[in-house]
Chains A and B, each alone.
Chain A
């Protein structure tokens, strides 16, 4: 009996609440006072909601900041690639300029002496001051750098080879723009030294002279990475280079 009475009471209250809800729904859309109540309730809730508003603003700010950072990183990568490409183009232009500085075609010189005792260090060529040879002028074989003029006389000149142990020039790996120093070992091998260990240097990457050297113009092709390398205790790697020119058997050079 008590249970039935409770159930009936629940029905009465429930239906009353529903009717009241419907009544509110029906009349409130046309009443201006509801807007005032909504505003008042919003003002009351402003205080407890304030931390959520602050947190939301912080979150939005952080999200915007992280998006900007991601965008800036992309921009940096894009600019870095563009910069590397421009450097390459500049180096190529400089290289071409060498050939076109005096006349349009590279001039050649014969190798007149290559002493067995200094086989990997120097050669003598049959061109001198009369042929506008100057000290420091790069000499090429098969389009690749083989050395530079170290001593000039009237009719002939001496050129130091890149395999010489005293030959050191700044160079760059074209694909990664890593800078290092190309040096010979006096025994026919050529190395690129002082590359920080752990860089993504792969076999076949091209090596050319770098812009930072004043003695030689940038972009002169030297050879390519062989893949052999050693890492020193100082944290720098030394990569072996395969010269583009056949250094053991060339009879003429161009300059």
Chain B
């Protein structure tokens, strides 16, 4: 539900701005955030197909050719799943700020980059760079929410972190 709301919000903001500025990829930020805090699920297939669906719908609405953002969205989810999977659960809440930031940044970097690389053109690069500038505050805000959540988990129960993460993520789902 959160992802649907974020997708719609991103769409409404794009409609409202009407091309004056590029809207951050709120849908992908939400998806990556959910992946990072969702430690309790057996697999992340929901994220892959959510990204696919979100990408296809975005392409149909704003690009006209499905595939551009779809590929980027799915690629981002695959990268996040694989990289985050390499980190042991105990280490995911201790000192992973930089990695979390990089993963969130990738979610904003990769999807708009693919159309630019495929289609080319200076206007496309200008579009891309502008969007990166506008995305940064959204990433920082998302980081803030993530770090606050981690801090709350640490402070709530004095048990090993990986146990905490598992239970809290289960609640969130």
Contact = CB atoms under 8 A, between A and B. Distances in A.
Nearest to B55: A21
Contacts of B56: 21, 24
Given A18-B75, A24-B66, A25-B65, A49 B52 contact: no
Given A45-B11, A49-B12, A9 B43 contact: yes
A13 B60 contact: no
A17 B51 contact: yes
Which residue of A6, A17, A38, A56 has the most chain B CB atoms within 10 A of its CB atom? A17
Contacts of B11: 45, 48-49
Interface in A1-52: 2, 6-7, 9-10, 13-14, 17-18, 20-26, 28-29, 34-35, 37-38, 41-42, 45, 48-49, 51-52
A52 B44 contact: no
B48 A7 contact: no
Contacts of A51: 12
A59 B16 CA distance: 9
A24 B43 CA distance: 26
A53 interface: yes
Contacts of A56: 15-18
B108 interface: no
Interface residues of A, number: 34
Given A21-B55, A21-B71, A48-B12, A13 B48 contact: yes
Given A17-B52, A21-B74, A55-B16, A42 B61 contact: yes
Contacts of B67: 21-26, 28
B77 A14 contact: yes
B48 A28 contact: no
Interface in B102-143: none
Nearest to B85: A7
Contact of A52 (B15, B48, B51, B70): B15
Contacts of B85: 7
Closest 7 CB pairs of A and B: A25-B67, A21-B70, A52-B15, A52-B12, A6-B43, A21-B71, A24-B67
Interface of A: 2, 6-7, 9-10, 13-14, 17-18, 20-26, 28-29, 34-35, 37-38, 41-42, 45, 48-49, 51-53, 55-56, 59-60
